Amino acid sequence: MTQDELKAAVADAAIKEIEPHLEKDTVLGIGTGSTANLFIDRLGPLRDRFKGTVASSEASAKRLQDLGIEVFELNSVGSIPFYIDGADEVNAQLHMIKGGGAALTREKIVAACAERFICIADGSKEVARLGNFPLPVEVIPMARSYVARELVKLGADPVYRQGVVTDNGNQIIDCFDFMIDDPVAMEARINAIVGVVTNGLFASRGADVLLLGKADGVERTALR
Ligand code: 5RP
124 CB-side CA count, 13 A: 10
Q: For residues 173 and 148, give the distance between their C-alpha atoms in angstroms, rounded to a whole number.
A: 7
Q: For residues 94 and 207, give the distance between their C-alpha atoms in angstroms, rounded to a whole number.
A: 5
pLDDT digit string (tens) for 15-61? Answer: 999 999 999 999 999 999 999 999 999 999 999 999 999 999 999 99
Predicted TM-score of the model (pTM): 0.97
Q: What is the pLDDT of residue 98?
A: 98
Q: What is the pLDDT of residue 18?
A: 98
Which numbered atom of ligand 1 lies nearest the CA of 33?
11
| Ligand 1 within 6 A of CB of 136 | no
Q: List Cα–Cα distances, 148 to 106, 156, 166, 167, 181, in angstroms.
A: 22, 9, 17, 21, 20
| Ligand 1 within 6 A of CB of 34 | yes
Q: Where are the beta strands (DSSP E) in the chain?
A: 27-30, 52-55, 80-85, 89-90, 96-97, 114-122, 135-139, 157-160, 171-176, 196-199, 201-202, 209-214, 217-222
Residue 224 has pLDDT above 90, yes or no: no
- What sign does the CA torsion over 26, 208, 31, 120 have? negative
Cα of 120 vs centre of ligand 1, distance in Å, is: 10
Q: For residues 208 and 224, give the distance between their C-alpha atoms in angstroms, rounded to a whole number.
A: 6
Which of 3.40.50.150, 3.40.50.1360, 3.40.50.2300, 3.30.390.50 is the CATH number of 3-127+204-222?
Answer: 3.40.50.1360
What average pLDDT score do residues 174-197 get? 98
Catalytic residue among 19, 70, 73, 107: 107
Q: For residues 121 and 94, give the distance between their C-alpha atoms in angstroms, rounded to a whole number.
A: 11
CATH code, 135-200: 3.30.70.260
Average model confidence (pLDDT) across the chain: 98
For the question of residue 150 being annotated catalytic, the response is no
Asked if residues 107 and 31 have their Cβ atoms less than 8 Å apart, the reply is yes
User: What band does 215 get if pLDDT is binned at 50, 70 and 90?
Assistant: very high
Q: What is the pLDDT of residue 43?
A: 98
Domain range summary for the chain, segments of one domain joined by +: 3-127+204-222, 135-200
Cα of 88 vs centre of ligand 1, distance in Å, is: 6
Cα of 102 vs centre of ligand 1, distance in Å, is: 8
217 phi-psi bin (left φ>0, alpha ψ -120 to 50, beta other): left
pLDDT digit string (tens) for 129-178? Answer: 999 999 999 999 999 999 999 999 999 999 999 999 999 999 999 999 99
Residue 214 has pLDDT above 90, yes or no: yes
Residue 116 has pLDDT above 90, yes or no: yes
Q: For residues 38 and 4, give the distance between their C-alpha atoms in angstroms, rounded to a whole number.
A: 9
pLDDT digit string (tens) for 82-115? Answer: 999 999 999 999 999 999 999 999 999 999 999 9
User: What band does 63 get if pLDDT is binned at 50, 70 and 90?
Assistant: very high
